[in-house]
Amino acid sequence: MSVSSRALVRWQFDLTWSLFEYHLERLEPADFLWEPAGHCWTVRRGADGGWTPDWADTEPDPVPVPTIAWLTWHIGWWWTVTVDHLRGRGPRQRTDVRWPGAGEPTVAWLRGLRAEWHAVLDGLTDADLDRTAPFPSQDDPEYTVTHMLGWVNAELMKNAAEIGQLRLLRAAGPGA
């Protein structure tokens, strides 16, 4: 029996999300801004009261250890831009994607992105899956929307594992 690309991508996404949900359900507000190392990236209050993520256009060496806050903002940013591309909208700039804040606001935001992603997946036709992907590699005609969907799954899996590991390290730390 053959499984369609759409069914496989959807199954993989739902599996990855279920693993992520395990950690989302257990995150405490204090987990988000916990800095696991002296050299890390996080989100910081801006002059306008909103949250601004640490960023460098060229990846630093050594790479900073991200906080859960930074990772959740990063998920929201790449996912929002990917949805924009698939819906034919101009992608939002990195600085336009705002982190909602520690705890339930961010968990609700990510769950909302999941629901939006399901709607995008459900709206794609077989012809859409075979089109050249608009992102992240517009110049590669072999890189299809199906490849992009696989990239989303891999990126979510990586970020979910990082968030889970940080949550576990904080819980196992001194005073735990």
Domain of residue 84, CATH code: 1.20.120.450
Q: Considering only CA atoms, which of 46, 57, 135 is closest in space to residue 94?
A: 57
Note whether residue 46 is domain-resident: no
2 occurs within a structural domain: no
Domain that holds residue 28: 9-35+64-172
pLDDT of residue 55: 96
pLDDT range class, residue 173, cuts 50, 70, 90: confident
Mean pLDDT of 28-57: 95
- Whether 106 is in a domain gets the answer yes
Mean pLDDT of 69-85: 96
pTM attached to this predicted model: 0.93
Distance CA 113, CA 108 (A): 9
Name the pLDDT band for 72 (thresholds 50, 70, 90).
Answer: very high
Percent pLDDT > 90 in the chain is: 80
Count how many domains the chain has. 1
At 141, the pLDDT band (50, 70, 90 cuts) reads low
| Whole-angstrom distance, CA of residue 176 vs CA of residue 169 | 10
Q: Is 63 a residue whose pLDDT tops 80?
A: yes
What percent of the chain shows pLDDT beyond 70?
93
Residue whose token pair is 């705890």: 103
Q: What is the mean pLDDT of residues 9-38?
A: 96
CA nearest neighbour of 136 among 154, 148, 153, 149 = 148
pLDDT at residue number 1: 43
Write out pLDDT tens, residues 93-105: 999 999 999 999 9
What is the average pLDDT across 135-144?
Answer: 69
Query: Does 58 fall in a domain?
Result: no
Confidence of residue 18 (pLDDT cuts 50, 70, 90): very high
Whether 123 maps to a domain, the answer reads yes
**CA distances, 120 to each of 13, 73, 80, 101, 113 (Å):** 13, 20, 12, 26, 10
Query: Does residue 53 form part of some domain?
Result: no
Write down the pLDDT at residue 175: 57
Mean pLDDT of the chain: 92
| Residue 32 near residue 69, CB atoms below 8 Å | yes
Query: Quick check: is 40 in a domain?
Result: no
128 falls within a domain: yes
